[in-house]
Amino acid sequence: MRHEAEADDIAFVKEAFDSLRTPRLLLPALLLAALLAADKIAILSVLPTTQNPDHLPYLIAFMLMTLAVIAFVVAILRILNHSFRSPWQPDSSLWLYGLAFIASSFLALSADFVVGGRNDHLSGLAAAALDTAVRAPFAPWLVAIAVERSLAWRPLPWLSGFSTWLPSFLLWGFLILVPLRQLQLMVNWHYLVAGTDWYWPAALLDGALGTVIELIALALASTAYRRVARS
């Protein structure tokens, strides 16, 4: 039984990484990396300060970048899962996914609150792990929203078959995504927020690293979605 579970975990992550080999992902991935780097620079450049406490430029930049990232995520999910929906079509599933994405982002903020912030490596890892665990059960439904036709607005059909995907999803989320997110946080803190001479290279690294994290997360979620769909 144990060997079967281990083999299933390996099959899960292999399916996820194999799905990333499609050439159609190259252009969206490169554009997303550039977008995330620009996002970090734009957000940090308009952060409110004591000299300029106006929050409006920050909020506008944050909202625009969030909408752009949502569009890229939906396009990548549709490519990964060979969706009948056009990757860049601004349809109802895009808007519903955007609402669900924004709602799920509050879970990350809740995770930070529970562990008291990400002020050190241990608390950062704990917050990332808690965030991963809380969001995990909804992963297949979020993918279904983006790729299914007709619109998969009802969550219950996709919140099932947990034994076929959730243990593997959590395992690889903890082993791969949590450390990578902590590494990205360290890059942000030491080079971007601190404003060192490595600011611009760090921004590019942050964009590349953020894209790698996003692709792996979407590939794992897509594998979970396909297992629920097959069942």
Higher pLDDT, 88 or 108: 88
Q: pLDDT per residue over 22-78, tens digit each?
A: 999 999 999 999 999 988 888 777 777 667 777 787 788 888 888 999 999 999 999
Q: What are 157's two structure tokens? A: 């059909």
Q: CA–CA separation, 36 vs 28, rounded Å? A: 12
133 has a pLDDT exceeding 80: yes
Give ∠ CA 10-132-95 in degrees, rounded to 5: 105
Which DSSP string corresponds to 97-157? HHHHHHHHHHHHHHHHHHHT-SSSHHHHHHHHHHHHHHHGGGHHHHHHHHH-SS----SGG
Q: Which residue from 224, 115, 102, 86 is spatially nearest to 159, judged by alpha carbons? A: 224
Q: pLDDT per residue over 138-173, tens digit each?
A: 999 999 999 999 999 999 999 999 999 999 999 999
How many CA within 13 A on the CB side of residue 228?
Answer: 26
Q: What are 9's two structure tokens? A: 């975990």
Task: Say whether pTM exceeds 0.95.
Answer: no
Mean pLDDT of 88-115: 85
pLDDT of residue 194: 58
pLDDT band at 196 (very low <50, low <70, confident <90, very high): low
Radius of gyration for the alpha carbons in the chain, expressed in angstroms and rounded: 18
pLDDT band at 100 (very low <50, low <70, confident <90, very high): very high
Percent of the chain with pLDDT over 90: 60
Q: CA–CA separation, 56 vs 47, rounded Å? A: 10
Lowest mean pLDDT among 18-22, 186-190, 195-199, 220-224: 195-199
pLDDT of residue 123: 81
